[in-house]
Amino acid sequence: MAKIQPRLIRRKLTVAVAESCTGGLVAAVLTAHGGSSRFFRGGAVVYSNEAKTALADVAPDLIHGHGAVSSVVAGALARGARERLGARIGLGVTGIAGPGGATPGKPVGLVYVAVDSDDHGSVKKNQFSYDREGNRLASVNVALDLLERAIG
């Protein structure tokens, strides 16, 4: 994060997040150092499907058609956070941190992380094999990596 923050500020880029399984950890890391108000617009912890819809404008049919833990929903979270908070870059995270919550085809540790901006959009599928905290921290690292790529 130490090398990302100055680049965001220098380029006058802003970031917003909508995160589920990380429970606000991405926002916490982005705001851990002074000066983060210069680039961080805000974020939402969207644990429930209803919160994903109400706070990040994820269409219910996307959730029902693809599942809350999917690349499509991760992308919609990033886009929704960006648009709702007027940021240049949006990050979205959805997954199954564990130890419970797995379903057939969606095991514990499955996490999708997305970034959305005018110039860059991508979703990364991850299958982590850590405990709950490890899965959440690994997800934050992926989000920061995607943010760094979006900055260029």
Each residue's pLDDT tens digit, 19-71: 999 999 999 999 999 999 999 999 999 999 999 999 999 999 999 999 999 99
Mean pLDDT computed over every residue of the chain: 97
> Kind of pairing, strands 121-127 and 110-117?
antiparallel
Mean pLDDT throughout 83-91?
Answer: 98
Q: Does residue 1 surpass a pLDDT of 70?
A: no
CATH number of the 4-151 domain: 3.90.950.20
Q: Are 52 and 18 in contact (CB under 8 A)?
A: yes
Domain residue spans of the chain: 4-151
Per the document, the length of the chain is 152
